[in-house]
Amino acid sequence: MIVPAGHRVLIKAEDVDEKTRGGLYLSPTTMERRKNERVIGTIVSIGMNAWKAFDGGEPWAKEGDKIFYARYGGSTIKDPDTQEEFILLNDEDVLAVVK
């Protein structure tokens, strides 16, 4: 289990389709590029100091919310137990909540 430290937010990015709408498989290079272009995901966990320095400390989002995040913000990390990929962002890289 990964617990974000301080002002960080852990998200699970949406999966990238390995096929086009027409059913063609994408090359590994194209898949990697699409992974890097993801900008939407779901909040898994929130650090204890997230959003404390902004707007009186009211959280902008909560666990389970689907969000848009900065394209090149954060770091991609793998859970050492499950090998599942997550993105660890600074709280300011959360741009919007999808309602």
DSSP the chain: -----TTEEEEEEPPPPSB-TTSPBPPHHHHHHHHHT--EEEEEEE-TTTTTTSGGG--S--TT-EEEE-TT-SEEEE-TTT--EEEEEEGGGEEEE--
Q: Is 24 within a domain?
A: no
Q: Measure the CA angle with vertex 23, ends 12 and 37; round to 5°.
A: 35
Q: What is the pLDDT along the chain (99 residues), one digit of tens a residue?
A: 899 999 999 999 887 666 666 777 777 787 777 666 678 899 999 999 998 877 777 788 999 999 999 888 889 999 999 999 999 999 999 999 998
Q: Is 57 within a domain?
A: yes
Q: Quick one: pLDDT at residue 94?
A: 92
Q: Is 82 within a domain?
A: yes
Q: Quick one: pLDDT at residue 20?
A: 65
Q: Quick one: pLDDT at residue 93?
A: 92
Q: Quick one: pLDDT at residue 22?
A: 72
Return the number of other C-beta atoms located less than 10 Å from residue 9's C-beta.
29
Range of the domain at 49: 8-13+40-97
When divided into structural domains, the chain yields a total of: 1
Q: Is 69 within a domain?
A: yes
Report the predicted TM-score, pTM, of the whole model to 2 decimal places. 0.78
User: Is residue 29 within 8 Å of 16, Cβ to Cβ?
Assistant: no
Q: Is 29 within a domain?
A: no
Q: Is 32 within a domain?
A: no
Q: Is 3 within a domain?
A: no
Indicate which CATH number applies to the domain containing 47.
2.30.33.40
Q: Is 18 within a domain?
A: no
